[in-house]
Amino acid sequence: MMWRPLLRPAVPLLGVQKVQARAHSQVPPTRSKLRSRAMFAASTLLWMPVIIMFNELVAEVTWINGASMYPFFNADKDSTTRNDIVLNYKFKAQEGLRRGMIVTFWNPTNPESTAVKRIVGLEGDVVRTRSPFPESVVRVPEYHVWVQGDGSARDNLDSNTYGPVPIGLITGRVTHILYPFHKVGRVRWWEHMIKGQRQ
């Protein structure tokens, strides 16, 4: 009778167990990756309405294009890639308006686009205009504001072109500069000298 060690078969069994253990150990990472991706996608879908609502009703990051607000915004006005980035605060944007504030509004001549300008006159103010407005002075009517860009007249399409802007068209107030980094901070609109005369 041949003697066979009882423990001998255990060697290949251990080998098989090791291989199987390694094979199984590779499964959880793949599943965990899929699970994490699914959770990320689900959380993104859940947060998307919140982000959209925030951008529409509270505030949004806005790029300033063009030279109409030079030199306050876009100091390098000839560059097409170095645009200032600002925070456009939308919550109750039409309330508490002051002369000197920088606001965004639907363009009266192109309702599909928005513009950014500085408030020069509130309702009842008499404002000194500039070309191409046909009159030298104008009284701002009720529920309107007079807006102008800080730049030269040739770089601007503002109230001197399309007249007083209805307050209902105002969509936001520019409250903070986010870029360039050396200008980051609150927009100190109250320190800006308003051109023109009011009474």
Looking at 25, 32, 36, 68, which residue is catalytic? 68
Residue 199 clears pLDDT 70, i.e. is over it: no
User: What's the rounded Cα separation, in Å, for the pair 121 and 125?
Assistant: 6
* Catalytic residue status for 77: no
- Global confidence as pTM: 0.72
182-190 long-range contacts, Cβ below 8 Å, gap at least 24?
A: 183/84, 187/86, 187/102, 189/98, 189/100, 189/101, 189/102, 189/118, 190/98, 190/100
Task: Quick: pLDDT tens for 147-176.
Answer: 999 988 777 899 999 999 999 999 999 999
Task: Quick: pLDDT tens for 29-80.
Answer: 577 778 778 777 777 777 778 778 877 888 999 999 888 899 999 988 766 6
Domain annotation for the chain: domains and CATH numbers? 59-186 (2.10.109.10)
When comparing pLDDT for 120 and 193, which is higher? 120
| Both tokens assigned to 58 | 């509270």
> Parallel, antiparallel, or unpaired: how do β-strands 126-128 and 110-121 relate?
unpaired
* Catalytic residue status for 195: no
Looking at 117, 152, 159, 195, which residue is catalytic? 117
User: What's the rounded Cα separation, in Å, for the pair 180 and 6?
Assistant: 78
